[in-house]
Structures are given as C-alpha cells and as structure tokens.
Structure 1
Amino acid sequence: MKNILIIADGILAKYFLETIIELKTLKHKYTIISYKDITISQKLKGENITIQRFDPTSFEKLRLGIHEKFDIFMVIMDEKIDTFSVYQNLRKIDKNKEIYLLDKWGLLDEIDDDNHTKIIDALSILTSRLIGYLPDHPILADSIGLGKGEIMEVKVPIGSSFSYKKIGLFSTQKEFKIPMIYRHNKAITAQFGTMIFPNDTLLVVGEPNVLQDVYKAIKESKGQFPSPFGINFYLIVDMINLCQDDFEKIIKNVKYLNESVTNHKLYIRVINPTLTKMFEEIKKLDDESCEILIEYSKNSPEVMKSDIVKHKVGMVISDNAFFEKHKKSLYELKVPVLTLGKGDVKDLKKGVVLMSDKSNASEASVVFDLCGQLGLDVYLHYYAQEKNQELIARYKDLAELFKKELFIIEDDAQNPFLKLKNEENFLHFVPFNDKVLHRKPTSVFSKDLDELYFAISQNYQLFIPDFYEI
C-alpha cells in the first residue's frame, strides 16, 4: 500500500477526489490537504482517507503537516500562484519525491531541470483531445507514456492506401508499429496476417514526428502507390549487361512512370559502370526528381538492400533478365518489383489479375490504386471449376471504392494464359511467392497461375511480396 499526499483546491480537485472514492480498486492510503470547504465533499469518507485543513502555501504549516513518509505528492489547485508556491514548499521538504502537478498556466517554463516532477498540462491535453475530434487530425495519447504524441489513434477512411493491407506489410518498419485495431467496438490484437479494413481505428505507436507522417499516409485516399511500401521508385541498371537501345527505352518509360505515379523521387542505382556514352547519359539525368547512385566497388546487386531502407523505396524497377537472375535478392527486399515489358508504359490499356480456386489472395487495393493512376481498366480473369462468390464480391467492392471499371472474365475450361500470351500492352499483377522464386523446368506444364507468370513476361509485370496479399 502506497501513501499518497494530495494537495487540492477548487472544483476540478473536488471532482477528482470524488472520482477516487468511487474507484473499486481504492486500496492505497490518501492524505488530502485543503483550505477551502468547497473542495471537500461529504462523500470523502473512508478508513484509508485522512483530511487536513490548512493553507499549504505556508511552508511552516506544510512542513509541520507532512509528518508521515509519502510515496507520491499530487498538486491540483485553481490558482497559479498557489500552485507554484506549494510546489516550491514541497521541493524544500523533499528534493527527490515524485510530484504530479496540474498546470493550467504554462508552469513548465518556470520549473526547469526537475526530473522528479511530472507536469500535467491541462490546456494541452484538452486542446489535443478537442482537435482529435476534428476530421483531419489524429487523437494522441496524453495520459499514458510520455504524453508527447508517441501513441496515436487514427481512423482509416474509405479509399485509404492502408485499406485491405495486412499488418505484416508494416512488420519491417522500425519507426512505428500497429499493435491494436478497433473494429465494431471490439479490440483486435494485431497479428502478422490481420487485415486492415476501411473504418477501422488503428492504434499506432512510434516516434511522434514519424506518426505525423503515418497519419497523413493513412488519411490520404486512393492514388498513393507506392505508399505504404515506401515513397520513392528505384531503378537498378547493370551496365555490363545492357545495350544502348535497351537503356534508352528503359529510361524513357521509367521517366514516364516517375511523372505519372504519386512517388516522391526516382533513384537510379548503377552497378558495373562502364565508360561509355550510356554512362555519360545516366549522369546527366541527375536532378531534383531523379538521383543517380553509382556503385564502383561492388559488381553485385547486394547494394540494393541498404538502398531500399535508406531511400524509402516503395517499388523497384528492372528488366526481365535482371529479375530472373536476381529473383532471390529482389524477393528479400520485401517491396514490389516492376519488370518492364516490350511496349511503352503510355500504351498500356489494362491491368490484369489472374485468379483460380487455389488463389489465397484477397482484394488488391494496390491493383486499383496503380491502375487508377495510370488510367487502366482492371480485368479479373477467374479460372476455376467453382465460383468463389466472396472473392468476386470483394473485387467489386474495391472497384466501387476506387470508381474503376472492373471486367470479370470467368472460364472453367481454358487457362487464361492461352488467351493472354498473344496480347500486348497490359500490366500483369503477380504474387511474389515461392512459386515465382523457385520456378522449375516443368513449370511450363503447370496449371498453377502464379507459376506460369513467365508465359506473358513480354508484358509489364508487378510482383508483390508474398506477405502482402494482392
């Protein structure tokens, strides 16, 4: 049992004391000092409550009144001068005792270098709480932790880039975590596979300045890809395996993507640099929207791993040859990888998703997000003996949310790859999983749609990490 001293004065103090009495867990010993009758309610009765009536702003009276050893001092008063005077008196009596002091006037500036005093800033708490009810501001925790904004509550709006994402997507984030989701008045402890839905309320913890950015990312509506994977694009150029014509085509299409999609910046990482015309052209690309990174010491793509973290990369771009050669390294980056097709990005006509009854993927918010930014319709090819009405319904819901046209092509007889292998100018969305990572020579005979991705690799393909469902 702890011995707690409360120095109280005023209506707020009265309400606080009455609330203490009503607590079912009232097991500590409380000594209350007050000099105004209005503060002491008739309800303040109990064997573990002692009430003393005198003016605590008098040092001598307070010194004589505190004849016991207390674990905590609490000061809740109506007047600034009284509050500060009581604080000074308590510090003269005990320099190291924990003091919890209610501040309605900005006393924090007057109480410097006191690590044993916790200032409860009433104005800041109330203001923060009221602002939290405004539609464009987060609710920050004031009464737990440090109270500096390291704990945040935010509601996920319809169309948010966080909607239909799994918590596992954010598991690699070191600067913030999502430990809890509130849905339909129920608290859900977030697991790796827990899905975030529109209108969920997320509990987010992390550095206060980081949480402000997270809040903005959650509240921003559709058209935010590559967020929340990252904010920048990253093209890797292996000069020793690239001819001039292919280089010019790659740069043209990557620049188009950089201008068309909501990313912040394009980073071009050059490995195996050679002193050629191509190298000089790459260096000329360096400007505010595009930064050139040249690796002279290493001739492998291992530098990608540190680049992804350092530059907050949300999507890696490569050609097919590089992708096939370095699939494992790319997979370990845990961000989407776009492989460039034979045509140009500006000529793309549609986005394509291939599903079967074996598919485990759910709604693809990233599909509708990216297709929306590129002006593409979405085609869902469903190849199965039995219809999965829930899967189809959820795609329809997303199409409505993103206001995109959705074409559903159902076929229980013909593999959609047979139809698509002769088509051009579409963007194929592929789960980046073990089937892609460990493609076998016999994959050409497979009926698994994920395993057959290579059959239409002449088109643009976006490989999304397996921990993130399309």
Structure 2
Amino acid sequence: MKKVALILEGKVAKKFMEVVVSKYFSNNFYLVITKDQTCLPASLPSTFEVHLFDPTSAYKLYPFLDANVNDILIVMEDVKEQRALYEIIRNKTKEIRMILSLEDSNAFKDIKDDRLLVIDRTQFIAQKFIAKLPNVPSVPQGFGLGQGEVMEIGVPFGSVFAYRHLGSLRQKDYKIVGVYRKNEFHLSHSSMVIQPRDQLLVVGNPDALNSLYLQVKSNVGQFPVPFGRDIYLYVDMGLQDTHALKRDIDQALILHEKLKSAMLYIQVLNPTDGIAMQEIRNIECQDIRVVVDFKGMHFIEKLHADSQKKIGLAVVGKELFSCRHRRRALFEIATPVFKTNARGLKGVEKSMVVLNEDMEQNEDISSVMFDVCGQMNLDMLLYDFDPDKRYKTEVIKNYEHLSHIYNCKIKVIRTYTRNPVLFLNKLETPVVHFLPFESCIAQNHLFWMFSTKVEQIAFLSDAHPQMFIPVVE
C-alpha cells in the first residue's frame, strides 16, 4: 500500500478525515500529523498512524518524510503556515507530490511546481453553484484534466439533436460515449436514437464540446440563439455613401423582422452626414436602437466591445468586409456574419450552400442554415461539385435528415463540370449564400490565387447576400 501523509487542521480537515476513515481507510497507509486533535475521529483503524505536533517545525517533521511517503495532503486554515510548510517540505525533497487546500489560490500563484496541486476552495464552491444553474453544461470537477474535456449535456424538447441517430452525427473532436435515460446508463451505439430529456455523456476537445453544447441546446426556429439574442448592424459614414447605408439598413430590417432577434442595434461609425443621421434615427422604436459613435472609434474596437454582450448576428456591407483586418476581427468573435448585397433581400426565396469535404467533419453550418431558412421561408439548394465525382453522400444524408425536422425543402445538384462560382454568377435572382466562416476567408488576398476553395473565391461577391457561419476547424 502507498503511504500518504495527511497534515491537518480545522473544520475542512475534520470532515475530510470522517470520509477517509469511513470509506477509504483500507486503500492506503495514512500518516496523520496535526497539532489539533479535535479534527480527528474518536477511533481510527490500524492503517492510520497519528503524531501530534506543530508541522511547521522542520526538526520534528523531517524524520517522517522518508522515501516511503508518496503524497502529502495539506488541509490547514492559515495560509502563511501552509506557505511555510510548503517551503519546509521542498527544502527536504522535490519529489513528493503535494496537494494543498486554500481559500484563495493566489497565495501560491508565484510558485511553479509540477509536483504541486492547489485546490482553490472558493473556486470549487463557485463551480458547484454554477453547475446547478439551468442551461449550463455539467462539467465534472476533480476528474481528468478538469478543463471541460468531459461534459454531460441535457437534450431539451425541440432540440435539433432530438430524434437523430448517433450514427448520423460525424462527431469530430468529440464522442458521445453514453446516454443517461430514465435513471439508466446506456453505452452509445450508431443505431441509438437521441430522445428529448436524454443526458448525453460526451468526451473530447473542450472547445468542440462547448460548441456541441450550444447546438444541442438550440431549439428549432430560435436563431440567432444560441449565439446571442440581438442583431448588430455596422455602418460607417466614412466608408459608405447614402446608397450603401440604405442598402445595409433595409436588409438588416428584413432580417430583424423575419428572425427571432430580440433587438436590432444600428451602430453608426464616423457620423458625418446630418441628414442621413436624422433619417436613421427616425427608424428607432422599441426593438430597434440607433447607437452613434462620436468618439471616432474604429470598427474593430467597436466590434470587440460589442462582442462582450454576445452578438447573435453581425451585419456588414462589402465596404467593411473587404478589409482583411476587419474580416479577421469578425472571424475571431465566432459569431454568424451576414454580408449584404447590391440587389437586396426582397423577393429572395432560395438559399444555397456549396458542399465541401470539411462539412463531413462539421455540423455547425447545417443546423444554423436550416434554422435561418425555416424562419425566412427559404428553399434550400445543396451544390455538390467535385471534378473527380467524389460526392458528399454523408453530408447530404445529414441535410436530408434535418430537412424533416425543420420541414424545409431541399434540392441537390451534383456536378463535376459546372463550377459553383460560375453557377452563382449566372443566377438571375439572388439567393442567400451560406458559407462556413473558415480562417482562410480572413487571409491576405495574395493567398487567394492558390486556393481551390469556393469559400475563399466567392466570399467577396456582391451578387448574393452571404451568411458566414463560424465552425470549429
């Protein structure tokens, strides 16, 4: 058995000892050192050896720190005594693993020690409260890395994941390893169908799990939720003329009317035209607010400040989107972006997405696309182009499944000759073009000439309105 040293004092130490003695007394040999006998139970099993003295006395402590001690757990009230005790032990040995219980881990933030684990009691209690909040992912604490690589996600009624086979999910960077259903645990298998009220046990990349959580919790027909509740339109009078301002405002108003957004914020940068400003202010009402920046704030700075409020959908015109630095800023906030077009949204009845290989790994764009199309009553066109005829069969199956959930019509075009960019350019009426917002879109234009990706070639087109959906790459 391992020999574990327990240096104890206080109420937490007393409760800790009660649990160890009652449940885990036979797991290890315990060396208990304390100057406070009240933290010890009345009787102890034979696996416990107790010594009563002040542990901050190096003279008394050192004889017990022999090669047989593998771990030291320190549960004390006084932070200064804990710090002194840590230094005493480290002067004796650098190999023993130490676990400290603290009210505030900042007292040890200056220490870099791979063999030291600090348990922040304040943080731990806060996490316990957070875990009890509704609509918050359940992340086990004190398990694994503790970075959110394991998560429990409840499936609500109306979720886009309800009634889907596990085999239909591509599960990139995560795996659904089991399902809790009616107080029973079931190991996952490809034919299992997810039901409302299921609790999914998921493991994987923490960022991918956070993205998955938002998707599972997203109800049908609620976009821009889960990204946010509000639409933010950005116009810049220093870059745009009155025609461009009207174009962007008209399309933002249509989006706000058709989507489940709570508010539309019209953010006006560099206000220089008093007449245009008055016309914009006349639009204000209960759910539309005009925010004018008189401080000369740059778009990137303003976007960053607004992103702290959780933007549901950002709307910009080509004048703002054409700059690589501004595209990079939009990419980094990980929020859907709608880029307006020259011909407007009136009369638009269809949407389109060009399928690519990466969509076999990412589910984000499909659920968002169906949600938007369902609210805006748009038919959907899937364009599957591959010169080698390696068509995206699995991606299409996923879209066909979602089409039943959202009650949305889809049409599939498979071709190995008709380039999708040329196809888009020949369309007489605009379509809402959905694109995954990948990092390549934020790159310098010098890289475009070497790219074969439709997203990197078509994103600056002004013929069709475009919706860029953030994805996990």
Instruction: Give me the TM-score of the superposition, normalised by structure 2.
Output: 0.60
Q: Could you tell me how far apart the structure 1 residues matched to 2:203 and 2:253 are?
A: 42
Label 1:298 to 1:308 Cα distance change in 2 as closer, same or farther (>3 A). Answer: same
Q: Is 1:190 the equivalent of 2:199?
A: no
- Larger Rg over CA atoms: 1
Once the two structures are TM-superposed, the CA of residue 353 in structure 1 deviates from its matched residue by 0.3
SS at the partner of 1:2?
strand
Once the two structures are TM-superposed, the CA of residue 352 in structure 1 deviates from its matched residue by 0.6
Contact in 1 for aligned 2:327/2:442 (Cα 8 Å) = no
Counterpart AA for 1:33 = A
Label 1:28 to 1:220 Cα distance change in 2 as closer, same or farther (>3 A). Answer: farther
Alignment partner of 1:248 out of 243, 246, 249: 246
Once the two structures are TM-superposed, the CA of residue 235 in structure 1 deviates from its matched residue by 1.1
Once the two structures are TM-superposed, the CA of residue 270 in structure 1 deviates from its matched residue by 1.2
Report the equivalent of 1:311: 309
SS at the partner of 1:235?
strand
Counterpart AA for 2:278 = E
Alignment partner of 2:233 out of 227, 232, 235: 235
Q: Could you tell me how far apart the structure 1 residues matched to 2:347 and 2:286 are?
A: 27
Contact in 2 for aligned 1:237/1:271 (Cα 8 Å) = yes
Label 1:128 to 1:187 Cα distance change in 2 as closer, same or farther (>3 A). Answer: closer
Q: Could you tell me how far apart the structure 1 residues matched to 2:451 and 2:20 are?
A: 70
Contact in 1 for aligned 2:265/2:290 (Cα 8 Å) = yes
Once the two structures are TM-superposed, the CA of residue 460 in structure 1 deviates from its matched residue by 0.9
Q: Deviations over 1:361-387 (max 9, x none)?
A: 633221112212212222110001222
Report the equivalent of 2:111: none
Counterpart AA for 1:425 = P
Counterpart AA for 2:336 = P
Q: Could you tell me how far apart the structure 1 residues matched to 2:141 and 2:447 are?
A: 61
Label 1:18 to 1:243 Cα distance change in 2 as closer, same or farther (>3 A). Answer: closer
Q: Could you tell me how far apart the structure 2 residues matched to 1:137 and 1:445 are?
A: 44
Report the equivalent of 2:401: 397
Q: Could you tell me how far apart the structure 1 residues matched to 2:307 and 2:160 are?
A: 20
Contact in 2 for aligned 1:341/1:458 (Cα 8 Å) = yes
Equivalent residues in 2 for 1:139-178 (5 A)? Answer: 153-157=152-156, 160=159
Report the equivalent of 1:386: 390
SS at the partner of 1:395?
helix
SS at the partner of 2:412?
strand
Report the equivalent of 2:113: none
SS at the partner of 1:382?
strand
RMSD: 5.1
Label 1:181 to 1:96 Cα distance change in 2 as closer, same or farther (>3 A). Answer: farther
Q: Could you tell me how far apart the structure 2 residues matched to 1:192 and 1:138 are?
A: 15
Q: Deviations over 1:124-176 (max 9, x none)?
A: x9x999x89xxx7768689869xxxx9984335586479989999xxxxxxxx
Q: Deviations over 1:26-80 (max 9, x none)?
A: 534495328xxxxxxxxx8434279xxxxxxxxxxxxxxxx94599xxxxxxxxx
Report the equivalent of 2:347: 347
Contact in 2 for aligned 1:261/1:374 (Cα 8 Å) = yes
Q: Could you tell me how far apart the structure 2 residues matched to 1:403 and 1:445 are?
A: 39
Alignment partner of 2:433 out of 428, 432, 448: 428
Equivalent residues in 2 for 1:350-369 (5 A)? Answer: 350-356=350-356, 362-363=362-363, 364-369=366-371
Q: Is 1:276 the equivalent of 2:274?
A: yes
Alignment partner of 1:265 out of 263, 266, 275: 263
Instruction: List gaps (5 residues or longer) in structure 2.
Output: 12-16, 33-38, 56-75, 80-102, 105-120, 123-127, 163-168, 179-186, 188-200
Once the two structures are TM-superposed, the CA of residue 307 in structure 1 deviates from its matched residue by 3.2
SS at the partner of 2:299?
coil
Report the equivalent of 2:30: 27
Alignment partner of 1:332 out of 323, 329, 332: 329
Label 1:181 to 1:411 Cα distance change in 2 as closer, same or farther (>3 A). Answer: closer
Report the equivalent of 1:461: 466
Contact in 2 for aligned 1:357/1:383 (Cα 8 Å) = no
Label 1:376 to 1:361 Cα distance change in 2 as closer, same or farther (>3 A). Answer: farther
Report the equivalent of 2:412: 408
Label 1:313 to 1:358 Cα distance change in 2 as closer, same or farther (>3 A). Answer: closer
Equivalent residues in 2 for 1:216-235 (5 A)? Answer: 219-235=217-233
Q: Could you tell me how far apart the structure 2 residues matched to 1:271 and 1:359 are?
A: 36
Contact in 1 for aligned 2:320/2:326 (Cα 8 Å) = no
Number of residue pairs matched?
A: 363
Q: Could you tell me how far apart the structure 2 residues matched to 1:218 and 1:166 are?
A: 13
Report the equivalent of 1:100: none
Counterpart AA for 1:276 = G
Counterpart AA for 1:382 = D
Counterpart AA for 2:421 = F
SS at the partner of 1:27?
strand
Label 1:431 to 1:290 Cα distance change in 2 as closer, same or farther (>3 A). Answer: same
Report the equivalent of 1:76: none
SS at the partner of 1:291?
strand
Instruction: List gaps (5 residues or longer) in structure 1.
Output: 8-12, 35-43, 51-66, 72-93, 98-114, 120-124, 169-179, 203-213
Instruction: Give me the TM-score of the superposition, normalised by structure 1.
Output: 0.60
Equivalent residues in 2 for 1:430-445 (5 A)? Answer: 430-433=435-438, 435-438=440-443
Report the equivalent of 1:293: 291
Report the equivalent of 1:81: none
Q: Could you tell me how far apart the structure 2 residues matched to 1:139 and 1:302 are?
A: 31
Q: Could you tell me how far apart the structure 2 residues matched to 1:194 and 1:138 are?
A: 12
SS at the partner of 2:454?
coil
Q: Could you tell me how far apart the structure 1 residues matched to 2:469 and 2:140 are?
A: 38
Equivalent residues in 2 for 1:87-166 (5 A)? Answer: 153-157=152-156, 160=159
Report the equivalent of 2:97: none
Q: Could you tell me how far apart the structure 2 residues matched to 1:268 and 1:20 are?
A: 61
Q: Could you tell me how far apart the structure 2 residues matched to 1:437 and 1:341 are?
A: 19
Contact in 1 for aligned 2:218/2:225 (Cα 8 Å) = no
